[in-house]
Chains A and B, each alone.
Chain A
């Protein structure tokens, strides 16, 4: 753990809260100081939840520390039971409370509450939020799920959706409908919307759909071993992955694969001529491992973009993401430090970022368009409209969301044609950004001896050795290139010049480079 301004994941007890908040009839007694109660607002504000998370904090203060914090825990646990009458309770300590070593689990056991009390032992200083959610759901499942008779009709459980998940709400709806088309009922969706009683009957399903390995894999593995429930490995995000997923379901159940494609527009939209301009757009991907892996396949195979870099912040996914990066021929970036991510993006100068809310901020700063594909989430990631990532509608939604931040195909030509016009000149902001604010320095102004710190290729220039000089005529010519590709043109020209051992860039060099990189 280290102090930082932004973080991709919270401590593990926030993961436990994501599980508790997603469920019903479950209460979480959390040994935590007064300040930790602020975690509530993640759910009530970001997700606009209209109920408080079912969490009772012991809220010990500095003056309690010399006295009996353990007794404080027991009082809080008893009061929480009396007030909320939950079907089951989970107990644990926050990162701060872990230090005082009161053993909430042990204490709760001695209290003799008439409901199942599940102790969570979450190592706050080694692990993080996703682990906390995965482990919490696993412990709940292990404590409550029992072997039971299978449903007469083929059914599955949808596993892994939690509070504060990226589009979990809508993914559940999409998958439920898609599986129903194939003749598969949903037995239980968990943790999202499940009660402890629902957890007890998880075993009645014929198989599990592991929606989000980050938050559901440990429970799925346990159910496979203890309850004999196989689980799906494909995460159905993207058209190809959705087809693979249904094939997997067909393999498990013996049912014929059926997919209603009447609403599927993504493949035609990607093939239609307006999308030609998407070809080879250089995209950088970052987020949780699952969403990045799914998005990489869509980027390359379904949108015709080029993956120029990818990575994840959850180190549980480091191995598959490294393998994936190798397959795509790029360097993997496994880090939970947003400054490293920012540096990588700056160095690669992609034309688009698919990332989390952190990358959206980075993109804003660097002037690179960004669409969000993964948690951590922001209030805007809980849209009022139906907006899944999975299945048919998910593919449609992603096409729209990924294309909208880009400058459109014909717009590129028009901007080029009218670049001298007062509305479109370099200093005018993008029209869809309201015009008034922000100058276009995406590609940076024409090369200046002293490049501004925001200038992407200026830094690249230094990296090369800072020896390449732009002649004045070449600078003027570079300015004629539209702002949104100018950065790339300059970078390409500079690396071309370096490669050829040319120290001065003339108009000639500029066009030599253009021909060299023509595709």
Chain B
């Protein structure tokens, strides 16, 4: 059985897995990090999005062995050790950017990748396009867009507080 070594939220794990084990199965079932969700299991919904070496990926469409040596960040790894939320998490709370919350972990992880890759700022259209790979079945997109817009300003140091960009 292959062994895979990954660093998840700063902690390195070496785990025996079957070659067919998905990254999301490694995270949820072996490492018990159940914040990463499985919605569709067909690469459509984005509930399983995590960061691999800083880029958002769908962990249901990635073999655990393909992540060998990678740095993985899950929703559990975003908040500071003292519990201070990441600005994106804080914005989702502040703008009520969730209804049932199932899609939220993936939505937050995708949104952070989107903001990181667009330091010059994001229009509403760019945010909607950029979150194309994440589906909110409650259809709560409106507040999600507001939250991402506000978090982007904080993450890039243009605003100390969460206010929607003009």
To the question of whether A and B form a pair in one complex, the answer is: no
A-binding residues in B (CB < 8 A) = none
